[in-house]
Chains A and B, each alone.
Chain A
Amino acid sequence: MPDKKPLSSVNDFVVRFANVNGSGSASANEMFARAILRHGVPVSPRNIFPSNIQGLPTWYEVRVTEAGHLGARGGVDMMVAMNPQTWDKDVAGIEPGGYLFYDSTKPMPSTKFRDDITVIGVPLTAITNSTYTDPRQRQLFKNIIYLGALSALLDMDPKLIEQLIGEQYKGKEKLLSSNVHALHLGRDWALQNLKCPIGLRVKKSDKVGDRIFIEGNSAAALGAVYGGATVCAWYPITPSSSVAEAFTAHCKKYRHDPETGKAKYAIVQGEDELASIGIVIGASWNGARAFTATSGPGISLMTEFIGLSYFAEIPAVIMNIQRAGPSTGMPTRTQQCDIIACAYASHGDTKHVLLFPEDPAEAFEFAAAAFDLAERLQTTIFLMLDLDIGMNHRLCRPLKWDDARQYDRGKIMTAEMLEEGRDFGRYLDVDGDGIPYRTYPGTHPTKGSYFTRGTSRDRYARYSEEGTVYADNMQRLVRKFETAQDLVPRPLQANAERPTKYGVIYFGSTSPAMDEAIGLLEARGHQLDRLRIRAFPFHSSVASFLAEHDFVYVVEQNRDSQLRQLIVNENGIDPVRLVPIVHYDGTPITARFIAKAIGDHQDHLKVTPLRKAVS
């Protein structure tokens, strides 16, 4: 018996699977997460994987959370330790009173365990080897067998897992029945040989509702399909590759002419990121909606073209699935570390529009909106995801589309308008919003052509190195950026129950951890108003929020508090009032971290917590 009381919790715990990369564990682990969802209980799973194809350690963490906290929690209540390489670290990481699930085929010395946890041994290899002879089958079914054993230990309904297996192997009867068989091998062994259930249990609930379970990259790619992207050029880079792969898969389903079978899209895997953004710029210049998906190193390579997009005013959509930098950094770890690199990308005076979705649902919406914004503003729009949103399944509200919605193709001067004698100056601000008209190549035999260049030119696109002409154009670009403020998604504010002088600003994948942290902070008596920033340039409500609070915490996932820098820079405010709360070790930020950091600062400020009313 452990010398600490075993943890006991219903629908609120963290299970972590430690596996070897390439062992086929991913689909079994994902099925575990989905099975819990089918119980009506929210889960938040996360892949923690190496930059490797086979052999290195990989983890899959499932937070079971009836309360719907979708951020990472930190800590592990049950470890499914399937990787001898990481055994010691994995065992050490279990919370006191937690559970260790392992393959007990080979006896382990007692020194390899801990006294304060419950150890559950299942002879997985022995069960597998006595049933299967093919080595590949042994490896794959071992994963399903542990899934079966876990279902018994956690009191899960096996019917729901069978249902999932049925959906996954629909039409492949042999695979279906063999998977169900493996599931019951593990489940029956556990029921016969172990005390089931343990203290951690899954109980049917109704907290999932109509929410969907999708990866951010797939949702963003779907947004590109709905947003009318026809050209995609990309270069493989973790963690962004699955955007282009998902776009390809979605297009194959939804973008072929039913009669001719021909494709209403073109996807090119470029030779590098330079070519990818070049293709996007060329296609957008010629009137198609085009995008690329990349990550930090790709952004660095693309910066010359991004400057061209800004200065020559060519639409482009870049999805940046951020990973830990600098340089190659930690390619399979998450960060929000390209804020400054993207906001001011390229040499000379430049500024770019950034969108910060918080989850896959917003990734879908913002991806579709990015194409409207790019064509309206005739510039680069960055969709700033990160690995945490992009490569993990996240529970989110269903995706929505209004069939009445038309694409905003921006200010296009047509052949008819040219025929009417409309004055066409490619860089002429006719409406006072800084946005000029453009023509597509091939529009009119004698009117509307111009020469696009990265060099300075006048309002009629004629080359000029005159200082006043150059400055006039640069000022117009500032006006255009001001116009962008009111076109991009606005910040969302949520106020504390009682008026407070303290606020917190956050964005992107920090969202679920922040929401949870607010609850923890309130429990300690700290009241904070929240502002979730969803885009750059910042809407005027950001300045108002700053003005209304004495101290504002800026929570973000990078070392140098880049969003804070951007806020200080763009709003010209006293930096002392903006307190950086940064988390940058490559793991997703947690509510515990935020609550502690902000709570400690509040204590430091000698803020006397408001006593909770005693009921």
Chain B
Amino acid sequence: MTYIAKPKFHHPGLKKNALGYTHRDYEGKISTLCAGCGHDSITASIIEACYELSIEPHRVAKISGIGCSSKTPDYFLGNSHGFNSVHGRMPSVLTGANLANRDLIYLGVSGDGDSASIGFGQFAHSIRRGVNMTYIVENNGVYGLTKGQFSATADRGSKSKKGVTNTDNAIDLVAIALQLGATFVARSFSGDKSQLVPLIAAAIGHKGASFIDVISPCIAFNNHAGSTKSFDYVREHNDAVNRLDVLVGRDPIAVDYAPGTIQVVEQHDGNKIALRKIDADYDPHDRLGAQTFLARHAAKGQIVTGLLYVDPDAEDLHEHLNTVETPLNTLEADTLCPGSAVLDKINASLR
């Protein structure tokens, strides 16, 4: 159904952002996912975050692998280039794209099958390298397109729709991302837009490898009793460490919250994140602490959400490689080719 064009008309009074774009300018084609799919809520949050940040839509490159989640880049930012690549290989394609042009915003969209199974290696290595990207996993614990097999993020003991119990241990991508050195790590829930939108906005503003695991129930194959990725289960077991606001171009104003419960983090893009702490002891700048906190809560069956770790001074792959500021894809023979005089010298040295 993606070939069905969405009508372009909209209410003349529709709100505009700083660039003069309306919400509609950040939309894509009509979703072909099941009605009520968690992934569509994530799509809506991405649209909202990009609108709020006043990003020029065409300056985003959206790259995905294969699966239900990887189809979603067609449903947002219709004026951006998208790349629905190969199963599990979004991270390498995104890494290459990022190397070619450091000036665009890179949004990697993947799923739990795509990132925790077939693409687990690429997930890990792109995080390790510190590619400047926002890596979103739309995590439903199940293979939807192939009709309901367990994925590697399905919890041990959880039941499939057909009643089969999963006996394999689950991979927690958030824990892995922390261990691998991601400099922005968060978890959220597709049904919690107020938490998710600012997380996405903050991740986009972060320079370095940002990772967000979004629990996104599959209403067709993983929303039943016995599933640990259902709407009901996640709502009951969600334990948010903080809520945040992204403050675009203005100072944070702590109005409703008691002093000491708000922490402001300034990011590379100049915008500030105001973290409203729910768990008073939680420190989002402590990687080791985050790992322990996560493990302790997982043992209690709680799903920790919020911004778990951020390093506002992170470096990205381009800094590691010391590449020029000019995007590599704009360089031509005049700057890339050493020329015939140099070649003559090389020839002379080879005799």
Contacts and interface: CB of A to CB of B under 8 A. Distances in A.
B95 interface: yes
B299 interface: no
Contacts of A439: 81
A285 B322 contact: no
B264 interface: no
B229 interface: no
B348 to A, nearest CB: 9
Contacts of B263: none
Contacts of A462: 2-3
B101 to A, nearest CB: 5
Interface string B44-79: 000000000000111101010000000001100011
Contacts of B78: 449
Contacts of B335: 264
A228 B99 contact: no
B130 to A, nearest CB: 12
Most-contacted residue by chain A among B79, B92, B322, B342 (CB, 10 A)? B92
A213 B350 contact: yes
A549 interface: no
A268 B129 contact: yes
A260 interface: yes
A242 B89 CA distance: 26
A282 B62 CA distance: 11
Contacts of B321: 263, 266-268
B58 A445 contact: yes
B79 A446 contact: yes
Nearest to A208: B351
B56 A283 contact: no
Nearest to B57: A445
Contacts of A231: 96, 99-100, 328
Given A287-B100, A400-B343, A445-B56, A264 B331 contact: yes
A283 B97 contact: yes
A268 B94 CA distance: 13
Interface in A262-313: 262-268, 270-272, 274-288, 290, 304-305, 308
B343 A283 contact: no
A441 B61 CA distance: 7
Given A257-B324, A286-B61, A449-B78, A278 B343 contact: no
A476 interface: no
Nearest to B328: A230
B171 interface: no
Contacts of A226: 337-338, 343
A230 B92 contact: no
Contacts of B194: none
Interface string B337-350: 11110111011001
Contacts of A290: 96, 100
B93 A281 contact: yes
B342 to A, nearest CB: 6
Contact of B333 (A228, A267, A400, A454): A228
A442 B81 contact: yes
Contacts of B80: 441, 449
Contacts of A257: 324
B82 to A, nearest CB: 4
Q: How large is the interface on B (under 10, 10 to 19, 20 to 34, 35 or more residues)?
A: 35 or more
Nearest to B335: A264
Contacts, number: 234
Contacts of B233: none
B104 A442 contact: yes
Contact of A451 (B74, B98, B347): B74
B351 A212 contact: yes
B146 interface: no
A405 interface: yes
Interface in B92-117: 92-101, 103-104
A449 B29 CA distance: 13
Contacts of B94: 282
B83 interface: yes
B92 A282 contact: yes
Given A263-B323, A398-B347, A462-B3, A444 B99 contact: no
B121 interface: yes
B86 A228 contact: no
Given A271-B122, A399-B346, A230 B331 contact: yes
Nearest to A451: B82
Contact of B99 (A283, A400, A406): A283
Contacts of A212: 347, 350-351
Contacts of A286: 61, 96-97, 100-101, 104, 329
Nearest to B32: A463
Contacts of A277: 92
A453 B122 contact: no
A7 to B, nearest CB: 30
A109 to B, nearest CB: 45
A439 B339 CA distance: 29
A407 interface: yes
Interface string A203-222: 00000101111100000001
Contacts of B2: 462-463
B336 interface: yes
Given A278-B86, A442-B61, A261 B100 contact: no
A282 B342 contact: no
Contacts of B256: none
Contacts of B100: 230-231, 282-288, 290
A285 B93 contact: yes
Interface in A178-233: 208, 210-214, 222, 225-226, 228, 230-231, 233
B96 A222 contact: no
Given A441-B61, A455-B84, A278 B323 contact: no
B322 A263 contact: yes
Contacts of A54: none
B156 interface: no
Given A266-B328, A454-B85, A443 B99 contact: no
Given A401-B337, A444-B58, A450-B81, A308 B86 contact: yes
Interface string A246-267: 0000000011010011111111
Interface in A399-413: 399-403, 405-407
Contacts of B329: 230, 283, 286-288, 440
B339 A264 contact: no
Most-contacted residue by chain B among A257, A276, A282 (CB, 10 A)? A282
B6 to A, nearest CB: 13
A212 B349 CA distance: 8
Interface of A: 37, 208, 210-214, 222, 225-226, 228, 230-231, 233, 254-255, 257, 260-268, 270-272, 274-288, 290, 304-305, 308, 398-403, 405-407, 439-446, 449-455, 462-464
26 contacts: A225-B338, A261-B322, A278-B86, A278-B89, A278-B96, A279-B93, A283-B96, A283-B100, A285-B97, A286-B61, A286-B101, A287-B100, A288-B99, A308-B85, A400-B343, A401-B343, A406-B333, A439-B81, A442-B58, A446-B58, A449-B58, A449-B79, A451-B84, A452-B83, A452-B84, A463-B2
Given A214-B350, A281-B96, 18 more contacts: A222-B346, A228-B333, A230-B328, A265-B323, A270-B92, A279-B95, A282-B95, A283-B329, A284-B100, A288-B100, A304-B86, A305-B86, A401-B337, A402-B340, A442-B81, A442-B103, A449-B81, A452-B81
